[in-house]
Amino acid sequence: MKVDLREVRKTLAWRLKLYRARRGRAKSRATFIGITGSSGKTTAASLLGHVLAGHASVYTQVLANTMKLLVSSLSRRMNKAGGVDYVVFEAAAFGPGTIRPMAELLRPNVAVVTMVRLEHLSSFRTLENVAGEKSNLVRALEPGGLAVLNADDPHVLAMASASSSRSVTFGTSEQADYRVDDIHAAYPELLRFSLHWRGNVLPLETPFPGEHFWLPTAAAAATALELGVPPQIVKERVATFQPLENRGQVIIAENGPHFIVDAAKAPWHSLYLAFDAVAKSTFGRKRIVLGQLSDFGGSNAKYAYAYKVAREIADQVIYVGDHAHRSKASQADRDSGRLIQLRTAKEASDYVRQTGTPGELILLKSSSNLHLERVALAWTQDVQCWVPVCGKREGCEQCGLFGVPFDRHREFVARRKSHRRRQKLLRVFRR
């Protein structure tokens, strides 16, 4: 039997990295916080890291939320930064069996679950399967740990029984330990609400354009308060948080539109949350740019219903991508311009540039493959990368190459790496 030496080397290298990661976790005295959920986990993790940073030292890892990157962080990056008080890690489930190994390696002291919805439909099939996978984070809690759970979601609330650890809840439910009320957002008025717990009330003002962001904000605030962060610091840090790119991010073009950029993912349940932010806005003119829906690439009914709902809210709906024809819009809507069908982000950008007006609100909603964020970025940046589908999961701002034509990306990255190597050598020689 022939042995593939490359595969043997890969296996041994992975085992070594895994050993170092386990050793790094065992040596650390930090409080480890794992955050998962079908939506809201990235914002909750980032916001919690920001809040905790006003109180202690924190290492936060979001978006890079896979087992491979967790191993890398535990074995190298986190330890290079020195000892920290808190580690916040976002754990994503891409299919059955993906969270459990991460949870068992992370061994969280705190587990936060935002919500359970039916995403990655082809992998999970049912809500119960999604909930079972997410609950692995709670099951992995260290002795004496804490679960922070969404009281409004029965699938999340049931996770309290997955561990003998203490649990607290947050939500709009009267039974929630951290109860949210007085929720209000009507863009340009940003989200504000009140958080009630144990006889205390904390009014929170946030940088988010839609009411649905109360959930990740409450999850982060409740966790921080449970960890002993003073309420005033929680309030101040929530107010100064900068929303993440592509996740309810607001981009305001000079003498142009206001964009709400929500182009990182588009699961079915999230459409109406984003639409609601537009519906409640006090702006006069509103448009919605829709791209591809997550998990429903071939569903005529889903695309048609999305158009129907968007049409009731917006003055114009712009469908972008290979599924734009699935809108089932009437000929009258097409003739009048109520619906515009375009194939690429570049076409959408050119159209919005030609028709955009100061003081209008434009929502960009899509899964990440189309990178519709470029429509907004083009108003404030020199966007040169307009390939229809680049294959990269991260957003254009995170990638950082939107100012370089796609066919020159490899050359640009190689030159940048070479420059960094030279700078590193120079620093060594100067010592």
- Residue written as token pair 């790496």: 417
Cα distances from 15 to residues 11, 19, 78, 417, in angstroms, run: 6, 6, 19, 27
Helices (H), 280-343: 300-313, 331-336
pLDDT value of position 81:
47
Tokens for 175, please give them.
């039974």
Which candidate, 158, 149, 279, 156, places its Cα nearest to that of 218? 149
CA dist 116 and 138 (Å) reads 14
324 in a structural domain: yes
Which candidate, 413, 352, 357, 355, places its Cα nearest to that of 377? 352
Tell me the whole-structure pTM to 2 decimals. 0.87
CA dist 277 and 294 (Å) reads 20
Find how far residue 133's CA is from the centre of its chain.
Answer: 19
Looking at the 3D structure of the chain, how many domains does it have? 2
pLDDT in tens, the chain (431 residues): 566 777 777 777 777 777 777 877 777 788 999 999 888 889 999 999 999 999 999 988 887 667 777 777 777 655 544 578 999 988 877 767 678 888 888 889 999 999 887 665 556 667 778 878 888 899 999 999 999 999 999 999 999 988 888 999 999 999 999 999 999 999 999 999 999 999 999 999 999 999 999 999 999 999 999 999 999 999 999 999 998 888 889 999 999 999 999 988 877 778 889 999 999 999 999 999 999 887 655 577 888 898 999 999 999 999 998 888 888 999 999 999 999 999 999 999 999 999 999 989 999 999 888 999 999 999 999 888 888 888 787 788 877 888 888 878 887 767 766 656 666 666 655 55
Clarify whether residues 225 and 334 are in a common domain.
no
Strands 146-150 and 166-171: parallel
pLDDT value of position 364:
96
Spatial contact of 389 and 370, defined as CB atoms under 8 Å apart: yes
206: three-class secondary structure by DSSP: coil
The answer to whether the bond into 216 is cis (omega within 30° of 0) is no
In total, the chain counts a number of residues equal to 431
Instruction: Tell me the residue range of the domain where 98 lies.
Output: 14-240
Spatial contact of 278 and 361, defined as CB atoms under 8 Å apart: yes
Spatial contact of 291 and 372, defined as CB atoms under 8 Å apart: yes
Assign residue 254 the CATH number of its domain.
Answer: 3.90.190.20
Q: Which residues pair with residue 61 across a beta bridge?
A: 89
424: three-class secondary structure by DSSP: helix
Helix (H) or strand (E) holding 350: helix 345-355
Q: Is the dihedral of CA 267, 272, 275, 276 positive or negative?
A: negative
201 in a structural domain: yes
372 in a structural domain: yes
pLDDT value of position 377:
93
- Residue written as token pair 């595969």: 7
Angle value at C-alpha 425, between 423 and 429, nearest 5 degrees: 115
Spatial contact of 7 and 182, defined as CB atoms under 8 Å apart: no
Clarify whether residues 84 and 111 are in a common domain.
yes
- Residue written as token pair 């079908």: 38
1 in a structural domain: no
Name the burial class of residue 200, with classes exposed (0-12), middle (13-18) and buried (19+) by CB atoms within 10 angstroms of its CB: exposed
Clarify whether residues 253 and 157 are in a common domain.
no
Clarify whether residues 289 and 177 are in a common domain.
no
Clarify whether residues 231 and 261 are in a common domain.
no
Strands 316-320 and 189-197: unpaired
